[in-house]
Amino acid sequence: MTETALDRVARALDLIPFITAHPGLSVIEIAERFNSTPTQISKDLSLLHMCGLPGYSHLELLDIDYEDPNYVAVTDPQVLDSPRSLTQLEAVTLILGLQSLTELASTEEERSTIAKLQERIMAKYGAAFIKSIQIADAIVDSPNNAMISRAITTESWLDMRYNSVSSDSITHRTAFPLDLEYQSGVGYLYAYEEATESTKTFRIDRILDVRILDAVEAPAGVDVAHLSRTKDRWEDSNVSSVEIETGPEGFFFIERHNEIVISHQKTATGYLISLRVIPGEWLVRTLLSWPGKVAILEPIELANEVDKRLKRNLTNNA
Amino acid sequence: MSDQKTERLINLTMALLATKRFLNKSEIFQSVAGYSGSIETMERMFERDKEDLRTLGIVIEVGTFDPLFEDEPGYRISPKDYRLDLGELTPQEFSYLSLAATLWRNQLFTAGGAQALRKLEGLGGQFSPEVLEMRTVSLENQTPLFPALWKAITTRTRISFEYQSQSVSRRNIAPYGLTLWHGAWYLVGDDEDKHDVRVFKVSRIASEIMETSKSNAFEVPDDFDIKSHLVMLTPENRQRITARVRVGKCQALRLDAVITPVNEEWDRIEFVAKHDWLERVLWYADDIIVDEPLELRNRVIQAIEAKL
């Protein structure tokens, strides 16, 4: 994104207190912290060097030491010695971030420290928007989060009881946790599984219980420092194209399964939807359980399988 | 933007921040470097500069030297308003704030967080390394329309957009607020055509956000409470379901159920129906038969028949 007119003024005003607080950084290091380039930061510094208080004698100008790009310091910040106050957007970001952190805290003490901090920011910067933005439910809603988070921090193996909904089974899994991520309200754990020697994605809300393995119990001989952290679930070569037709409520199918929908088209009676997905048990059950009308156009084997199960289901229930 | 203008805005900020008394325009034009040209040119320049600084969130106070006389207005920036003041921060608190700034990723919060982090670092606080190790979570929440909605809410500007439900319709809204529920953002606002406060899922907005008024066009009612408008938060009408499930199957349903063995093939389970009960039952296909209530069993049959 190109820099807007005011971005530069904002950065320039923030550079002085930042360098005052961190004297001796190089232009390259400063550029990294400000998500900018060394050339741009050097230009900013020479511009700031010309700025100051009315009078503009050497006593009133900002005094910046930047001749050596490896050592930048502010000798006299004049009135710019403190960072600017938070904007509404910045305060909202911090408040929402702190709220999520309270949910991730692993001890009561941590939780209380973060909650107090959140109240402090809210009291000082939140009055104007407190009614405009709210989180209606817990963002991180699994009691196992703190334990998993701790295991990632301490690089420990986990023993989990996991409910795989696609295969309708509950199994014990030994895995080395790599990352925890939230997407659309669902938490995912990426972990290396010893048994299959591969990286797997676990839905946090389906981990029934979890415990950290001690050094004696943990699998030996796995070079955990060099595990691949690839998260691309669709690298699997079994991915194929599936075409389905739905009624008008297909809109909600597209919304819910957005990550597998590659295109959709409105028709007189509903939607034609193309999916890119592994046509396994998960897909069969997803189509079976969709509460609206759905017809599978391609591939025919999938259509037959879903049809067979629907008929069996109907015979059972009728 | 030219270097000249950047320089002038920085000088203006510094001058207004350093002054204890209000500076009137002629004093500003005489003393702050960067103002030149005719009086009209300088006036126009100054008006734009004030607006620019306000956009950056810098509050400019307007006042007079002597309240008893109607002097020309003067301007200053109060150091108290300008400076970031969070009181004393322990290394632990400082680290939580830094972590909070980078936790959320979306079109708006990524930028907001980066700016906040830059300011926090300007405070020169110390980090607590064990807290920073919590940096293992990221909250992904991509909503391209978020910045436009946020702007309309904070400036109280009316908006119009196409909204996709089972059909698409144009909505004219006075936006009151945003809320996050189950990982999705919802806009709550006064629907001008329906004369009522309505809730819109942001991801279903199917057009750009069009501003249809100037700012400060409406007031949010004093007693407005976002959560009171979320129907999804009202307790559901829950029912108990009795069903037969195949032995060893329907594991997820069994977790919250009372289980009684029936014979070698079937167990009986009793569980509480939540809003997604029908999908949960259909998921297990012929491994489950709903026995009671009969009305729910009929809905299962209807749902299967609709697909055949």
How far is B158 from B172, CA to CA, in rounded Å? 7
**Residues A34, A15: contact at Cβ < 8 Å?**
yes
Percent of chain A with pLDDT over 90: 38
Are A17 and B116 a contacting pair at CB < 8 A? no
Q: Largest Cα–Cα distance of chain A, in whole Å?
A: 93
Query: pTM for the whole thing?
Result: 0.70
User: A162-175: per-residue pLDDT in tens?
Assistant: 998 888 889 999 99
**Residues B202, B187: contact at Cβ < 8 Å?**
yes
Of A42-46, A113-117, A217-221, A246-250, give the lowest mean pLDDT range.
Answer: A217-221
Rounded (5°) CA angle A213-A215-A218: 55
How sure is the predictor about B9, in pLDDT bands with cuts at 50, 70 and 90?
Answer: very high
How sure is the predictor about B69, in pLDDT bands with cuts at 50, 70 and 90?
Answer: low
Minimum CA–CA partner of A35 in chain B: B114
- Which amino acid is present at A298? E
Are B57 and A182 a contacting pair at CB < 8 A? no
Domains of chain A in start order, with CATH, are 5-76 (1.10.10.10), 145-231 (2.30.30), 240-317 (3.30.70)
Tokens describing residue B248: 């060893």
Co-location of B225 and B243 in the same domain: no
Handedness of CA A192, A193, A198, A199 (dihedral sign): negative
Co-location of B245 and B300 in the same domain: yes
Are A168 and B284 a contacting pair at CB < 8 A? yes
Co-location of B15 and B76 in the same domain: yes
Residue A117 predicted with pLDDT over 70? yes
**Residues A11, A34: contact at Cβ < 8 Å?**
yes
Co-location of B167 and B203 in the same domain: yes
User: B107-163: per-residue pLDDT in tens?
Assistant: 677 778 888 888 998 888 777 655 655 544 556 556 778 888 988 998 899 999 999
Are B136 and A131 a contacting pair at CB < 8 A? no
Percent of chain B with pLDDT over 90: 42
Higher pLDDT: A141 or B21? It is: B21
Residue A234 predicted with pLDDT over 60? no
Minimum CA–CA partner of B151 in chain A: A89
Which chain B residues are closer than 8 Å to A49 by Cβ? Answer: none
* Residue A127 contacts B, CB cutoff 8 Å: no
How far is A112 from A135, CA to CA, in rounded Å? 19
How sure is the predictor about B62, in pLDDT bands with cuts at 50, 70 and 90?
Answer: very high
Kindly report the nearest CA distance between residue A220 and chain B, in angstroms. 24
Kindly report the nearest CA distance between residue A88 and chain B, in angstroms. 8
pLDDT of amino acid B234: 61
Minimum CA–CA partner of B297 in chain A: A317
Are A289 and B279 a contacting pair at CB < 8 A? yes
Among residues B85, B94, B154, B145, which one has the least CA distance to residue A88?
B154
Are A21 and B178 a contacting pair at CB < 8 A? no
Total beta-carbon pairs less than 8 A apart between chain A and chain B: 328
How sure is the predictor about A132, in pLDDT bands with cuts at 50, 70 and 90?
Answer: confident
Tell me, what CATH number does B243's domain have?
Answer: 3.30.70
Which chain B residues are closer than 8 Å to A55 by Cβ? Answer: 31
Domain boundary among B212, B230, B248: B230
**Residues A203, A166: contact at Cβ < 8 Å?**
no
What is the domain count for chain B?
A: 4
Strands A63-65, A73-76: pairing is antiparallel
Of B7, B84, B180, the CB nearest to A86: B84
Kindly report the nearest CA distance between residue B265 and chain A, in angstroms. 13
User: B165-178: per-residue pLDDT in tens?
Assistant: 777 899 999 999 98
**Residues B85, B79: contact at Cβ < 8 Å?**
no
How far is B98 from A308, CA to CA, in rounded Å? 55
Co-location of B221 and B152 in the same domain: yes
- Which amino acid is present at A132? S
Co-location of B78 and B98 in the same domain: no
Tell me, what CATH number does B214's domain have?
Answer: 2.30.30
Domain boundary among B32, B57, B82: B82
Which chain A residues are closer than 8 Å to B119 by Cβ? Answer: 14, 17, 83-84, 86, 90
Mean pLDDT over A73-94 rounds to: 90
Of B5, B116, B233, the CB nearest to A93: B116
Domain that holds residue B59: 3-82
How far is B168 from B191, CA to CA, in rounded Å? 15
User: What is the overall mean pLDDT for chain A?
Assistant: 85
Most confident of A1-5, A13-17, A227-231, B111-115: A13-17
How far is A27 from A8, CA to CA, in rounded Å? 16
Higher pLDDT: A143 or A215? It is: A215
Residue B65 predicted with pLDDT over 90? no
Tell me, what CATH number does B16's domain have?
Answer: 1.10.10
Of B112, B122, B164, the CB nearest to A14: B122
Of A22, A117, A317, the CB nearest to B300: A317
- Scanning B152-211 for CB atoms below 8 A from A yields 153-154, 164-167, 176-184, 186, 203-204
Domain boundary among B183, B213, B230: B230
Mean pLDDT over A53-81 rounds to: 92
Minimum CA–CA partner of A16 in chain B: B122
* Residue A2 contacts B, CB cutoff 8 Å: no
Higher pLDDT: A29 or A188? It is: A29
Are A100 and B305 a contacting pair at CB < 8 A? no
Among residues A137, A135, A136, A150, which one has the least CA distance to residue A105?
A150
How far is A209 from A145, CA to CA, in rounded Å? 11
Co-location of B207 and B263 in the same domain: no
Residue A235 predicted with pLDDT over 60? no
Are A21 and B82 a contacting pair at CB < 8 A? no
Are A134 and B180 a contacting pair at CB < 8 A? yes
DSSP letters along chain A, please? -PPPHHHHHHHHHHHHHHHHHSTTB-HHHHHHHTTS-HHHHHHHHHHHTT-BSTT-STTTB-EEE-SSTT-BEEEE-TT--SPBPPPHHHHHHHHHHHHHHHHH-SSHHHHHHHHHHHHHHHHHH-TTTTTTEEE-S-SS--TTHHHHHHHHHHT--EEEEEEETTTTEEEEEEEEEEEEEEETTEEEEEEEETTTTEEEEEEGGGEEEEEE--TTTSPSS--GGG------GGG-TT-EEEEEEE-TTHHHHHHHTTTTEEEEEE-SSSEEEEEEE--SHHHHHHHHH-SS-EEEEE-HHHHHHHHHHHHHHHHHH-
Indicate the SS3 state at residue B56: coil
pLDDT of amino acid A1: 52
pLDDT of amino acid A137: 65
Co-location of B63 and B129 in the same domain: no
Higher pLDDT: A236 or B62? It is: B62
User: What is the overall mean pLDDT for chain B?
Assistant: 86
| B199 DSSP β-pair partners | B188
Residue A227 predicted with pLDDT over 80? no
Indicate the SS3 state at residue B200: strand
Give buried/exposed letters for B153-170 (b at 16+ CB in 10 A, else e): bbebbbbbbebbeeeeee
Among residues A31, A32, A13, which one has the least CA distance to residue A74?
A13
- Scanning A29-88 for CB atoms below 8 A from B yields 33-35, 47-48, 50-56, 78-80, 82-88
How far is B144 from B164, CA to CA, in rounded Å? 16
* Residue B123 contacts A, CB cutoff 8 Å: yes
Tokens describing residue A204: 């946090």
* Residue A90 contacts B, CB cutoff 8 Å: yes
Of A93, A132, A136, the CB nearest to B153: A132
| B259 DSSP β-pair partners | B269
Q: Burial level of A191, CB count in 10 A (0-12/13-18/19+)?
A: buried
**Residues A63, A23: contact at Cβ < 8 Å?**
no
Residue A40 predicted with pLDDT over 90? yes
Kindly report the nearest CA distance between residue A86 and chain B, in angstroms. 6
Of A82, A255, A317, the CB nearest to B290: A317
- Which amino acid is present at A37? T
**Residues B178, A133: contact at Cβ < 8 Å?**
yes
